[in-house]
Structure 1
Amino acid sequence: VIVGVACGVYHTCAVTSTGSILTWGKGIQTGHHGKRTVLLPTRLLQDLSSKVVVSVSANGVHTACVTKDGELFTWGNGEYGKLGHGDENDQHAPKRVEALVGK
């Protein structure tokens, strides 16, 4: 059951009642390890498989989600440091924002 959704310019994200996140569309902001186009809703398995996602937010070129434990994960275009990882690197898959752990 879908309980939340967020839409970017070229991608869409959905959160399920069990805390999974599914993404689809075009670009690294889908979070599927560099796969450029995802045509069907696909669960993010590798990086968030043990996490319970409670919310998601999408922008034109990056995505963020919050877990039940209060962790923030971001991915997509890292220009200007917008992902919060202390650099401007693109992230092709969800990565925890370490600067906010425990805050």
Structure 2
Amino acid sequence: MTMIREESGRAIITVIGRDQIGIIAWVATKLAEYNVNILDISQTILKEFFTMIMVVDLKSATLELVELANSLEQEGLTKGLQVKVQHEDIFTYMHRI
């Protein structure tokens, strides 16, 4: 049973921090635990800094968007990472020209 109520059912996840082994694996594992599907992913290393942006499908997620955001953000802090989760509509609105 889905608990996400937003219309598009997609979110943007960004991760920034010093490069370290296992960042993508950690995020992907957490998303799989919550039944969140990764639709697209882009990552790069700029000098020693890791940056990643993901588009994910929340339609089958087992928790609310706010709970997902809080979980990833809090656990990310313990790993020295800044993790942000935004509904696609909010992200699009905030980044339009």
TM-score, normalising length: structure 2: 0.33
Q: Which has the higher helix share?
A: 2
Q: Which has the higher strand share?
A: 1
